[in-house]
Amino acid sequence: MKLDFSVAVHSLLYLDAHRPNKVASRELAQSLHLNPVMIRNILSVLHKQGYLIGTVGKNGGYQLEKLLGDINLGDLYDLTIPPSLSYARFITGPSKNDEQVNKSAIAANISETLTDLFTVADRQYRAYYHRYTMADLKEDLHHHGTFLAKEAGL
Amino acid sequence: MKLDFSVAVHSLLYLDAHRPNKVASRELAQSLHLNPVMIRNILSVLHKQGYLIGTVGKNGGYQLEKLLGDINLGDLYDLTIPPSLSYARFITGPSKNDEQVNKSAIAANISETLTDLFTVADRQYRAYYHRYTMADLKEDLHHHGTFLAKEAGL
């Protein structure tokens, strides 16, 4: 879900701003206006991938391991919103298992064509995020308009 | 919804294959394995935009007005899946109307930054579809792999 990406971005910015402190999921939850369980689920993915150090217990919390400039936005997008393995629910016509004698040439072939089209479009979409790091995002936070300004050069 | 785009594509290919016949929504519904009401709702949008001729009554039905090569896939995508006006539900932090004294600089600014990022990414995504027409899609239907082959050159 796209919100997971936003939660990851917001959390990483928050941890960066609070270096070298440990930040509890409860504190992040207050800043993000979200439930601590949701925060913990998303941060556990980032933790497994080595973005964060996590300490459990009374004085525990999260600390950012990487520099913002070393965190690629596309990697973060792929991690929090994995690519679809199947576009079946977005494609018309009979399912693969339907044994229809009179299946038309269009109905028989449209699934493969639309899957290719959607797959390449999605890869193009993700390639956009891969152009930037969290440091670019932090720059836009302080000087809005950098992503819009760079669009012309794409 | 992405399915609306698939329905539009499938319907236009079907009407093209059945020129110059009139095709009833019931016949399209059988080919697409969908409800005729859904088909009619989507085709009414295409009809208003001049893609189709529609005749009502006992011997009525749809006929394709344009050539496939004159139907841009990006136009069709924008028509059936209009761009989001707001990414509010994908963005963390307090809502605009929250009057919080201690709103952090991150929480106060992340909405504008993520909105810009998502907006430009979505425009890049749509630009991909705008490269092709329905004639390109029909070509892939007969010779699968053309969209994948063209990806290397993007």
Q: State the nearest Cα–Cα gap between B50 and chain A, in angstroms.
A: 23
Interface mutation target, options B124, B134, B139, B142, chain A, most CBs of A under 10 Å: B124
* Cα distance between residue B46 and residue B52, in whole Å: 6
Do A52 and A62 meet the contact criterion of CB atoms below 8 Å apart?
yes
- Inspect the interface and report whether the beta carbons of A33 and B125 lie closer than 8 Å: no
At residue B95, the pLDDT reads 63
At residue B55, the pLDDT reads 84
**A112: which chain B residues are within 8 Å (Cβ-Cβ)?**
144
At residue B104, the pLDDT reads 78
- Tokens 């890869």, located at residue: A123
Using the predicted structure, report yes or no on whether residue B129 has a pLDDT greater than 70: yes
DSSP A84: P
What does the pLDDT look like over A89-98, one tens digit per residue?
Answer: 888 876 655 5
- Inspect the interface and report whether the beta carbons of A93 and B31 lie closer than 8 Å: yes
At residue A101, the pLDDT reads 46
* Cα distance between residue B1 and residue A146, in whole Å: 30
Question: Which of B151, B106, B144, B111 has the alpha carbon at shortest distance from B128?
Answer: B151
- Characterize the bridge pairing of strands B52-55 and B61-64: antiparallel
- Inspect the interface and report whether the beta carbons of B120 and A33 lie closer than 8 Å: no
Question: What is the secondary structure of B29-68 as a DSSP string?
Answer: HHHHTS-HHHHHHHHHHHHHTTSEEEE-STT-EEEE-S-G
Q: How confident is the model at residue B92 (pLDDT cuts 50, 70, 90)?
A: confident
Domain range B2-78, CATH class:
mainly alpha
Residues in chain A, overall count: 154
CB nearest to B154's CB, from A89, A92, A124:
A124
CB nearest to B141's CB, from A109, A120, A129:
A109
CB nearest to A141's CB, from B91, B106, B129:
B106
Question: Which of B118, B42, B41 has the alpha carbon at shortest distance from B80?
Answer: B42
Complex prediction ipTM: 0.91
Q: Which amino acid is at B153?
A: G
Q: Which residue of B has its CA nearest to A143?
A: B113
At residue A87, the pLDDT reads 85
- Inspect the interface and report whether the beta carbons of A17 and B106 lie closer than 8 Å: yes
Alpha helices in chain B (DSSP H): 2-17, 25-32, 36-48, 73-80, 105-130, 134-142, 146-151
- Inspect the interface and report whether the beta carbons of B120 and A128 lie closer than 8 Å: yes
Do B22 and B61 meet the contact criterion of CB atoms below 8 Å apart?
yes
**A89: which chain B residues are within 8 Å (Cβ-Cβ)?**
3
Residue B7 CA to its chain's centroid (Å): 9
Using the predicted structure, report yes or no on whether residue B100 has a pLDDT greater than 70: no
**B42: which chain A residues are within 8 Å (Cβ-Cβ)?**
none
Interface mutation target, options A64, A98, A124, A150, chain B, most CBs of B under 10 Å: A124
Output the six-digit token pair for B74.
């990006």
Mean pLDDT within B75-94: 87
What does the pLDDT look like over A45-80, one tens digit per residue?
Answer: 999 999 999 888 788 899 999 999 999 999 999 999
Do A5 and A42 meet the contact criterion of CB atoms below 8 Å apart?
no
Q: State the nearest Cα–Cα gap between B120 and chain A, in angstroms.
A: 7
Sites in chain A below the pLDDT cut of 70: 94-103
Percent of chain B with pLDDT over 90: 73
* Cα distance between residue B83 and residue B69, in whole Å: 24
Query: Alpha-carbon dihedral of residues B134, B137, B142, B144, nearest 10 degrees?
Result: 170
Query: Alpha-carbon dihedral of residues A96, B34, A85, A154, nearest 10 degrees?
Result: 130
Chains A and B form CB pairs within 8 A to the count of 155
**A104: which chain B residues are within 8 Å (Cβ-Cβ)?**
14, 17, 31
What does the pLDDT look like over B55-75, one tens digit per residue?
Answer: 888 888 999 999 999 999 999
At residue A136, the pLDDT reads 98
What does the pLDDT look like over B25-34, one tens digit per residue?
Answer: 999 999 898 9
Do A37 and A71 meet the contact criterion of CB atoms below 8 Å apart?
no
Q: What is the mean pLDDT of chain B?
A: 91
Mean pLDDT within B112-140: 96
Which phi and psi (to 5°) does residue A93 adopt? 95, 175
